[in-house]
Amino acid sequence: MADQTQPWAERTVEVPPQPGVGVVPPQRDAFRRGVAAVGQPSRPRTEQFSTVDPTAGWSGDSAPRRPMSWHLAQLRRGGEWSAAGALFAFVCWGIWAISGRGDLGAPLLTFVLSLLTAVGLFALARLLGRLVWERQLGRIRRSARGAHLVTAIFLAGVGVAYLQQTEWVVAAWNWVSGN
């Protein structure tokens, strides 16, 4: 019996040998117990990547297709950044549009075009993320936070640009900063 004064992690228990237990069956695929297969890939490197057959489509290993709900959930992660940027741009646009004291048709068109540009920037950031992060670096994207952050920075810049075009905001800024 083991010494009970030793910590439990250091105790060993002697088990008598039993017939038929502990015998390892022979391995088939070139596995040898105690010998590491260092530098020997399981399959040739050319077979690790998918190939394109123009007549038959994709062949080789392919990732399982994920449902649309998974893709939408991935796009929503980080959406608070874009929402905050859009809210800031909207408030700044409202200050600029009301200060113009004219028809709101042209300012509304300007804001809609700014939002469409932000959507295009978001799509471009997602595309670049797919090319660089997934294909070049071999990483998995689990959210769209980076693309949302880029979009939010753009929308914040749009909001600041609207404020810079508002005369009384520029005058107030110059008065506060002492220029």
Coil, strand or helix at 104: coil
Residues 6+ apart with CB under 8 A from 142: 74, 77
Q: What pLDDT, in 10s, does the model give residues 92-148? A: 999 999 888 778 888 899 999 999 999 999 999 989 988 888 788 888 777 888 899
Measured CA to CA, the distance from residue 90 to residue 88 in angstroms comes to 5
Whole-angstrom CA distances from 48 to 62, 77, 167 are 10, 31, 62
* Predicted pLDDT at 16: 73
Q: Which pTM was predicted? A: 0.59
* Predicted pLDDT at 1: 54
* Predicted pLDDT at 120: 96
Domain chopping of the chain, boundaries: 79-177
| Residue 112 structure tokens | 């809609």
From 136, 132, 112, select the one nearest 124 (Cα to Cα).
132
The percentage of the chain sitting over the pLDDT mark of 90, rounded to a whole number, equals 30
From 98, 93, 100, 101, select the one nearest 118 (Cα to Cα).
93
Higher pLDDT, 43 or 179: 179
Q: What pLDDT, in 10s, does the model give residues 1-48? A: 556 676 666 666 676 777 766 655 655 566 667 766 666 556 555 555
Environment class of 93 (CB within 10 Å of its CB; exposed 0-12, middle 13-18, buried 19+): buried
- Write down the residue that tokens 């530098």 correspond to: 39
